[in-house]
Amino acid sequence: MLKGIGRPAYSGIAIGRAYVYHKQQSQLPASCGDSVKEQQKFDEARQVAREQLEELFTKTKEEIGQEQAMIIDVQMMMLDDLDYLESVADMIQNGCGAAKAAQDSGDIFSSAFAAMDDEYMKARAVDVKDISTRLVKILCGEQNGLTMEEPGILVAEDLTPSETVQLPKDKILAFVTRQGSSNSHTAILARIMNIPSLVQTKLDLDADIDGKMMVVDGFNGVCYVDPDEETLSEMRKKQQQATEERRQLEAYRGKPSITKKGRKINLFANIGNPQDVQTALDGDAEGIGLLRSEFLYLGRDTAPTEEELFEAYRTVVEGMQGRRVVIRTLDIGADKQVDYFGLDKEDNPALGYRGIRICLEQDEIFRPQMRAIYRAAVYGKVSVMFPMITSVWEVQKIKEFCAKIREELAAEGIAYGETELGIMVETPAAAVISRELAKEVDFFSVGTNDLTQYTLAIDRQNAKLDRFYDAHHPAVLALMSLIAKSAQEAGIWCGICGELGADAALTEEFIKMGYDELSVSPGRILELRKKICECEVEPQ
Ligand code: PEP
Ligand code: MG
């Protein structure tokens, strides 16, 4: 039996087979120098791409609909585009490797499409890029993410947010990573999925553990490979106990979250994409308090279009059946990176070009999001909020931009709905000027993960600093109290969507401060409802 000690990022017991995830190589293979062979490799890759797309077409048509499936159809036609094929063949003739020829031709054609005046042709730039990326991946022998035949425990050195979103979530019983911090987005995702997770686990990945039986104890931060009978039966008992505790919490399902003093607290869920709606409903969420839009941007080669964003938001809004959905605009940057925006590498990404800073400077990134959000608001109760606010002028600019978007939609005759407009308070600057900011918006949602990081000057990603990352620090709690007070004075509602919102040791404190909403991982809702129902305190 091999034992690994880690830091628990989410509790629970999982028992299953280990799947070891290795990073993919994305280097283009060198040309073999033989143009006939390279052309042959390209032709074979084209055939594989066609088969993949045919499968994807059927799946998309069944699961999403004919309209979305047509995008795949267009891509299949592009595989036969004579100009593209000629460009690749010419490059190969001139000594280029097949993968490089597919990539460079894709770049040339994609730029040419993007420069066209016709909106339809412009939109095809994305398809060309998608198809050439697919061909390159096939030629480089890369898989699209990880495939798991049966449910199991995912073991990895580390997982970036982009890698995590591509994993077969329905098959993963637990995450175990050798790196990562308990405040990272991958840990947050494990909480959304409601599965045990360990980070910074001391476990030898070179040991032959792939496929072996494994147990993860997310309560104590331990995992076992090839557990002996005694350990296995102890863990099974613990698993049953956890199941029994959850069963008892079921008494709170469907009950209102009201304190003994009669104060209603909204218990909402944090999610990352439309597939999480079911998890939120299963958790008995009263709404969505944070939809992290950036998860729609990760793990892909191009930015989602307005249409794709609209479909995703509409699915969430409809899925929540009239309950409020708070959509946060893109918070890319820092630990969540995508290549296709071409953002510069920065020395201090957490203090850099991220969140609303990007949107305020790049209309082409901000516009599709806001259009999609307003369009989705036709289908339910939508609130929109903006990350990383530090100044009043930013909020005023956002409001001007939003007014412009609504005018645009009206002029185009496109239906849009009303939304509440709020901000995330997650920088000390925003907390300190919360009184001024409260006059500008309909609500506040406190991002305690970043508020703690910036107040304590501690990188939330740096595993070495986990010990110093103290979200209970009096400075953080003082700012939180100030934020709630500013909201109350202005008569707006105020919630917490950072991880601290789920900390039951602070629930009473938050109610005393005057918070109206806690938005947490779906799996924590019933436990917090019990806590709220037992609370005897009142806002002070
Ligand atoms: C936060 O900072 O607390 C928050 C909710 O946003 P994120 O974790 O996505 O940065
Ligand atoms: Mg944040």
pLDDT digits (tens, 9 = 90+) for 421-464: 999 999 999 999 999 999 999 999 999 999 999 999 999 888 78
What residue owns the CA closest to ligand 1's atom 4? 447
Number of Cβ atoms within 10 Å of the Cβ of 101: 29
- Provide the residues around ligand 2 (an ion) whose CB is within 5 A: 426, 447, 450
- In short, whether 498's Cβ falls inside 6 Å of ligand 1 is yes
The mean pLDDT of the chain is 90
pLDDT classification of 207: cutoffs 50, 70, 90:
confident
Instruction: Report long-range pairs for 427-434 (Cβ below 8 Å, ≥24 apart).
Output: 427/388, 427/389, 427/390, 427/451, 427/454, 428/454, 428/455, 428/479, 429/390, 429/391, 430/389, 430/390, 431/479, 431/480, 431/482, 431/483, 432/479, 432/482, 433/391, 433/392, 434/482, 434/483, 434/486, 434/487
- Is the pLDDT at 25 greater than 60, yes or no? no
Asked if residue 201 lies in contact with residue 225, where contact means CB atoms within 8 angstroms, the answer is: no
Is residue 96 part of the annotated active site? The answer reads: no
What gap in Å lies between CA 29 and CA 306, rounded to an integer?
Answer: 35
What token pair was written down for 247?
Answer: 């069963």
Distance 424 CA to ligand 2 centre (A): 8
Of these ranges, 15-24, 142-151, 346-355, 457-466, the one predicted with the greatest mean pLDDT is 346-355
Q: Whose CA is nearest to atom 6 of ligand 1?
A: 447
From CA 421, how far away is CA 400, in angstroms rounded? 12
**224: which strand partners?**
3, 215
Is it the case that residue 517 has pLDDT exceeding 70? yes
Task: Give me the mean pLDDT over the 56-66 stretch.
Answer: 69
Amino acid at 362: Q
What φ, ψ does residue 529 adopt, rounded to 5°? -65, -40
Q: Do the Cβ atoms of 445 and 426 come closer than 8 Å? A: no
- Write down the catalytic residue from 96, 359, 494, 497: 497
Q: Which atom of ligand 1 is nearest to the CA of 453?
A: 2
DSSP states along 485-527: HHHHHHT-EEEE-SGGGG-GGGHHHHHHHT--EEEE-GGGHHH
CA of 186 to the centre of ligand 2 (A): 14
Element at 21 (helix H, strand E): strand 13-21
Give, using CA atoms, the residue closest to atom 1 of ligand 1: 447
Candidate of 497, 500, 521 to mutate for ligand 1, largest count of ligand atoms within 8 Å of Cβ: 497
Task: Please give the single-letter amino acid code of residue 452.
Answer: T
Maximal C-alpha separation, the chain: 80
Between CA 46 and CA 215 the distance in angstroms is 42
Q: Active-site residue among 96, 185, 402, 494?
A: 185
Query: What residue owns the CA closest to ligand 1's atom 9?
Result: 292
Place of tokens 């099974």: 236
Least confidently predicted of 183-187, 195-199, 432-436? 183-187
| Cβ 426 under 6 angstroms from ligand 1 | yes
Confirm or reject: Cβ of 450 under 6 Å from ligand 1.
Answer: yes
pLDDT at 532 over 80: yes
Calpha distance 375→309 (Å, rounded):
10
Residue nearest to atom 3 of ligand 1 (CA): 447
Question: Can you tell me the mean pLDDT for 25-36?
Answer: 72
Look at the block and give the residue holding tokens 């993960």: 449
Q: Active site includes 472?
A: no
Question: Residue 24 has which token pair?
Answer: 């993919």
